[in-house]
A = this chain, B = another copy of it.
Amino acid sequence: MIAKKGEVTMAIRYPNGKPLSIKPSTPLDGYQHRGMDFEADINTMNQRYRDTNRAIIYKKPTPIKVGKLQHRSRMGPLITEAYFEMPSTTDYNGIYRGRYIDFEAKETRNKTAFPFANLHAHQIKHLQQIIAHGGIGFLLVHFVVHQQVYLLDGQDVANVLDSGRKSIPLDYFRLHGIEVPWGYVERLPYLDAVDQRYF
Protein backbone atom coordinates (compact mmCIF):
# COMPACT_ATOMS: atom_id res chain seq x y z
CA MET A 1 0.00 0.00 0.00
CA ILE A 2 1.52 3.31 -1.02
CA ALA A 3 0.63 6.35 1.04
CA LYS A 4 -0.26 9.42 -0.96
CA LYS A 5 0.72 12.83 0.29
CA GLY A 6 -1.32 13.80 3.30
CA GLU A 7 -2.47 10.25 3.89
CA VAL A 8 -1.53 7.97 6.76
CA THR A 9 -2.08 4.30 6.01
CA MET A 10 -2.80 1.78 8.72
CA ALA A 11 -3.21 -1.97 8.58
CA ILE A 12 -6.92 -1.97 9.34
CA ARG A 13 -9.32 -4.04 7.27
CA TYR A 14 -13.06 -4.05 6.77
CA PRO A 15 -14.97 -7.12 7.97
CA ASN A 16 -15.04 -8.29 4.34
CA GLY A 17 -11.26 -8.28 4.23
CA LYS A 18 -10.86 -5.20 2.08
CA PRO A 19 -8.02 -2.98 3.26
CA LEU A 20 -9.03 0.43 4.51
CA SER A 21 -6.91 3.46 3.92
CA ILE A 22 -7.14 5.77 6.90
CA LYS A 23 -6.59 9.47 6.66
CA PRO A 24 -6.05 11.67 9.66
CA SER A 25 -8.89 13.94 10.73
CA THR A 26 -6.67 16.94 10.09
CA PRO A 27 -4.91 16.37 6.79
CA LEU A 28 -1.15 16.76 6.91
CA ASP A 29 -1.11 19.11 3.94
CA GLY A 30 -4.02 21.28 4.98
CA TYR A 31 -7.67 21.27 4.03
CA GLN A 32 -7.22 22.11 0.35
CA HIS A 33 -7.60 18.57 -0.90
CA ARG A 34 -10.46 17.74 1.41
CA GLY A 35 -13.14 19.10 -0.91
CA MET A 36 -12.36 16.58 -3.62
CA ASP A 37 -12.64 13.74 -1.15
CA PHE A 38 -16.09 14.55 0.25
CA GLU A 39 -18.02 12.37 -2.16
CA ALA A 40 -15.38 9.65 -1.85
CA ASP A 41 -15.66 9.84 1.94
CA ILE A 42 -19.43 9.38 1.80
CA ASN A 43 -19.10 6.47 -0.61
CA THR A 44 -16.51 4.81 1.63
CA MET A 45 -18.76 5.38 4.64
CA ASN A 46 -21.73 3.83 2.81
CA GLN A 47 -19.59 0.84 1.84
CA ARG A 48 -18.64 0.40 5.48
CA TYR A 49 -22.27 0.75 6.61
CA ARG A 50 -23.19 -2.00 4.14
CA ASP A 51 -20.26 -4.20 5.18
CA THR A 52 -21.22 -3.92 8.83
CA ASN A 53 -24.90 -4.37 7.89
CA ARG A 54 -25.91 -1.13 9.59
CA ALA A 55 -27.63 0.38 6.54
CA ILE A 56 -28.08 -0.25 2.82
CA ILE A 57 -27.39 3.12 1.19
CA TYR A 58 -25.98 3.77 -2.28
CA LYS A 59 -25.11 6.75 -4.41
CA LYS A 60 -27.27 6.85 -7.51
CA PRO A 61 -25.36 6.81 -10.79
CA THR A 62 -24.87 10.16 -12.51
CA PRO A 63 -27.59 10.47 -15.15
CA ILE A 64 -26.07 10.47 -18.62
CA LYS A 65 -27.93 10.74 -21.91
CA VAL A 66 -26.38 8.50 -24.53
CA GLY A 67 -26.17 10.07 -27.99
CA LYS A 68 -24.19 7.66 -30.14
CA LEU A 69 -23.25 4.03 -29.65
CA GLN A 70 -20.70 1.94 -31.46
CA HIS A 71 -21.31 -1.80 -31.34
CA ARG A 72 -18.27 -3.98 -30.90
CA SER A 73 -17.96 -7.72 -31.21
CA ARG A 74 -16.95 -9.62 -28.04
CA MET A 75 -17.32 -6.47 -25.94
CA GLY A 76 -20.11 -4.25 -24.74
CA PRO A 77 -21.03 -1.24 -26.86
CA LEU A 78 -18.78 1.81 -26.79
CA ILE A 79 -20.53 5.11 -26.13
CA THR A 80 -19.00 7.71 -28.44
CA GLU A 81 -21.28 10.64 -27.67
CA ALA A 82 -23.11 11.39 -24.43
CA TYR A 83 -24.14 14.27 -22.19
CA PHE A 84 -24.58 14.82 -18.47
CA GLU A 85 -28.24 15.24 -17.51
CA MET A 86 -29.76 17.09 -14.57
CA PRO A 87 -30.50 14.63 -11.73
CA SER A 88 -34.24 14.19 -11.05
CA THR A 89 -33.75 13.65 -7.36
CA THR A 90 -30.92 13.51 -4.84
CA ASP A 91 -27.63 11.63 -4.89
CA TYR A 92 -28.09 9.09 -2.12
CA ASN A 93 -30.88 6.85 -0.90
CA GLY A 94 -31.50 3.59 0.87
CA ILE A 95 -32.82 2.02 4.04
CA TYR A 96 -31.73 2.53 7.65
CA ARG A 97 -33.38 1.14 10.79
CA GLY A 98 -36.39 0.20 8.68
CA ARG A 99 -36.83 3.76 7.37
CA TYR A 100 -36.41 5.10 3.87
CA ILE A 101 -33.50 7.55 3.88
CA ASP A 102 -32.66 10.08 1.17
CA PHE A 103 -30.12 12.89 1.07
CA GLU A 104 -28.09 15.24 -1.04
CA ALA A 105 -24.46 16.03 -0.20
CA LYS A 106 -22.89 19.34 -1.15
CA GLU A 107 -19.93 21.41 -0.23
CA THR A 108 -19.16 25.07 -0.26
CA ARG A 109 -16.07 27.22 0.17
CA ASN A 110 -18.30 30.01 1.42
CA LYS A 111 -17.33 30.87 5.01
CA THR A 112 -20.67 32.08 6.33
CA ALA A 113 -23.49 30.44 4.37
CA PHE A 114 -24.52 27.70 1.94
CA PRO A 115 -25.83 29.33 -1.27
CA PHE A 116 -29.02 27.85 -2.73
CA ALA A 117 -27.37 28.16 -6.15
CA ASN A 118 -25.70 24.84 -5.25
CA LEU A 119 -29.05 23.02 -5.08
CA HIS A 120 -31.91 22.61 -7.54
CA ALA A 121 -35.36 23.64 -6.33
CA HIS A 122 -36.77 20.26 -7.39
CA GLN A 123 -34.23 18.52 -5.14
CA ILE A 124 -35.58 20.43 -2.13
CA LYS A 125 -39.13 19.61 -3.24
CA HIS A 126 -38.10 15.96 -3.51
CA LEU A 127 -36.79 15.94 0.08
CA GLN A 128 -40.09 17.46 1.26
CA GLN A 129 -42.05 14.75 -0.55
CA ILE A 130 -39.92 12.06 1.06
CA ILE A 131 -40.60 13.53 4.49
CA ALA A 132 -44.34 13.78 3.74
CA HIS A 133 -44.31 10.05 2.89
CA GLY A 134 -42.70 9.14 6.21
CA GLY A 135 -39.10 8.98 5.07
CA ILE A 136 -35.97 10.71 6.32
CA GLY A 137 -34.71 13.44 3.99
CA PHE A 138 -31.84 15.80 4.60
CA LEU A 139 -28.96 17.82 3.25
CA LEU A 140 -25.35 17.11 4.19
CA VAL A 141 -23.17 20.19 3.74
CA HIS A 142 -19.41 20.39 3.97
CA PHE A 143 -18.11 23.85 4.83
CA VAL A 144 -14.68 23.33 3.36
CA VAL A 145 -12.93 26.30 4.96
CA HIS A 146 -14.12 25.33 8.43
CA GLN A 147 -13.69 21.60 7.79
CA GLN A 148 -17.16 21.13 9.26
CA VAL A 149 -20.01 18.95 8.02
CA TYR A 150 -23.64 19.47 9.05
CA LEU A 151 -26.81 17.48 8.55
CA LEU A 152 -29.88 19.69 8.06
CA ASP A 153 -33.41 18.29 7.73
CA GLY A 154 -35.07 18.78 4.33
CA GLN A 155 -37.99 20.69 5.85
CA ASP A 156 -35.58 23.14 7.48
CA VAL A 157 -33.93 23.64 4.10
CA ALA A 158 -37.35 24.32 2.55
CA ASN A 159 -38.27 26.73 5.34
CA VAL A 160 -35.17 28.86 4.74
CA LEU A 161 -35.80 28.85 0.99
CA ASP A 162 -39.45 29.84 1.52
CA SER A 163 -38.35 32.75 3.70
CA GLY A 164 -36.85 34.29 0.56
CA ARG A 165 -33.19 33.88 1.46
CA LYS A 166 -30.59 33.13 -1.21
CA SER A 167 -28.52 31.01 1.15
CA ILE A 168 -28.62 29.12 4.44
CA PRO A 169 -26.41 30.83 7.04
CA LEU A 170 -23.78 28.67 8.73
CA ASP A 171 -25.29 29.80 12.03
CA TYR A 172 -28.59 28.24 10.97
CA PHE A 173 -26.80 24.91 10.47
CA ARG A 174 -25.21 25.27 13.90
CA LEU A 175 -28.56 26.01 15.52
CA HIS A 176 -30.88 23.61 13.67
CA GLY A 177 -28.51 21.04 12.19
CA ILE A 178 -26.38 18.27 13.62
CA GLU A 179 -22.62 18.37 13.15
CA VAL A 180 -20.99 15.24 11.75
CA PRO A 181 -17.50 15.01 13.25
CA TRP A 182 -14.66 13.58 11.13
CA GLY A 183 -13.52 10.21 12.35
CA TYR A 184 -10.78 7.67 11.76
CA VAL A 185 -12.11 4.17 11.17
CA GLU A 186 -15.49 5.69 10.37
CA ARG A 187 -14.43 8.67 8.32
CA LEU A 188 -17.76 10.49 8.13
CA PRO A 189 -20.17 8.79 10.55
CA TYR A 190 -23.27 10.65 9.41
CA LEU A 191 -25.69 7.95 10.58
CA ASP A 192 -24.80 8.90 14.17
CA ALA A 193 -26.18 12.34 13.34
CA VAL A 194 -29.25 10.66 11.81
CA ASP A 195 -29.74 8.70 15.04
CA GLN A 196 -29.54 11.92 17.02
CA ARG A 197 -31.94 13.83 14.76
CA TYR A 198 -34.55 11.22 13.80
CA PHE A 199 -34.59 8.38 16.34
Interfacial residues, chain A to chain B (CB-CB below 8 A): 50, 53, 55-56, 58, 60-64, 66, 76-85, 87-89, 93-100, 102, 126, 129-130, 132-135
Contact = CB atoms under 8 A, between A and B. Distances in A.
Nearest to A96: B133
Nearest to A132: B53
Nearest to A102: B95
Given A50-B129, A56-B135, 13 more contacts: A56-B129, A56-B130, A64-B66, A79-B79, A79-B81, A79-B82, A79-B83, A93-B94, A94-B100, A95-B102, A95-B134, A98-B135, A100-B135
Among all A-B residue pairs, the 3 with the closest Cβ atoms: A98-B134, A61-B63, A79-B82
Contact of A64 (B82, B96, B133): B82
A61 B58 contact: no
A100 B89 contact: no
Contacts of A94: 93, 100
A58 B98 contact: no
Q: State the number of copies, please.
A: 2
A95 B88 contact: no
Nearest to A75: B83
A84 B93 contact: no
Contacts of A66: 64, 82
A76 B81 contact: no
Nearest to A126: B56
Contact of A83 (B78, B84, B85): B78
A15 to B, nearest CB: 15
25 contacts: A50-B129, A53-B129, A55-B133, A56-B126, A61-B61, A61-B62, A61-B87, A64-B64, A76-B83, A77-B84, A79-B79, A79-B81, A79-B82, A79-B83, A79-B84, A80-B80, A93-B93, A94-B100, A95-B100, A95-B130, A95-B133, A96-B133, A98-B135, A100-B100, A100-B135
